[in-house]
Structure 1
């Protein structure tokens, strides 16, 4: 799923400090205008200040709770029952054992593919509807041949779609309620291509040595969460996602160039070697 924008806010200004300081300033001004001497409002242990801070915390938590409920109305930020309600509005229901991420992906495809005869998002959504084992789908048409080619990446370890899964998807698409008579399809498993990666990294001055070792596990896992079909494994992705968590700088040793994926191809990180070349600020 694509990177999320910052979540929308129904109520802005959820800073505890901003609410507290505004209340303290208002109370202090009321005392001043009414010529009431009160000199301890700036002291942390002052009873009135403590009461204002308690109220500020309640106000802030209420605003945060409203915002947390508000974002559930947006597909990309929704989860659980709220997501089920959103999906139902588009006549989409959660499949058995289907997690939130897969349901959101399928729902967004249904929204994008509302036209009965396309675009390709409609076919991608239908393929994911067909079987919970469908992890990702790519649909494309060659320049001359009008046939629609459908590549299935399965959730089975290794990603290869077995024949019974391809048959199930084809039968589902071919149902009279869903089939567009003018379209012809071919169904095939996605191709999984493993690419070995080697990185030179420089750690921050005080980073743990284990940060490099942790990266050898975390980076492939992060890549595997992407929508892999037809996705290029680029130097930019490797560098952006390897930095942070103690890593200051990154240089890609292998592959020597960006790895370009075919429409029916899912690139996987085979082995990852991380070389610590030094430390820096």
Structure 2
């Protein structure tokens, strides 16, 4: 059993119920990793007679092995900004790729353009809208981010609750698999900041989008067109979870405990 619960698949009950309420059949997933969420989405698509397109330029081997045995799932091995414009007829987007401002806001803009082109309501389910990526960029492949959109970063630095800094070899860190922006907060930094700026753009266009934030397991965001015929039913289902204070308290306690374990491990390694 892993110490850190971190997967978007933990939200499967909420995600699958939301997809059912919206009548979504054709689903596009950004970010597959091991394929935990992918398998649940594929099973849903199979039952509804729909489809799953999974976008990930470098998923884990477990996902590739599964896709090779699952012909109804289409895998596009490209970055999201390149792959998404190739799609059409998508009812819902499940976004859990690179967790930084530039990547996420462009993903939302592309999804929105495609929805309007295809005459569909925008509907996106997103991971990592809470700490640590809410207000701090995370880069799996920083070279893919244009320099003008990329904050100074470190693959060795770690992050901790209540600290805007990125501390070398301390706190929650990627051990070489991903990098953190050196500072938390400020303009164009983090996933939640990207969502908020996208919502501001929509308001400028006098479009009404609804947003819900489930503050657990790094945060689930649900973004949808409030004019969709299914929007009232989806809002009724998701709003009790939105900014739920009990969930937020449990998540903060979970993260404090996890960070304490990391600190103990670091100190034990130094003593050895």
TM-score by length of 1: 0.23
Q: Specify which structure has the bigger relative contact order, considering alpha-carbon pairs within 8 angstroms and separated by 6 or more residues.
A: 2
The structure with more radius of gyration? 1
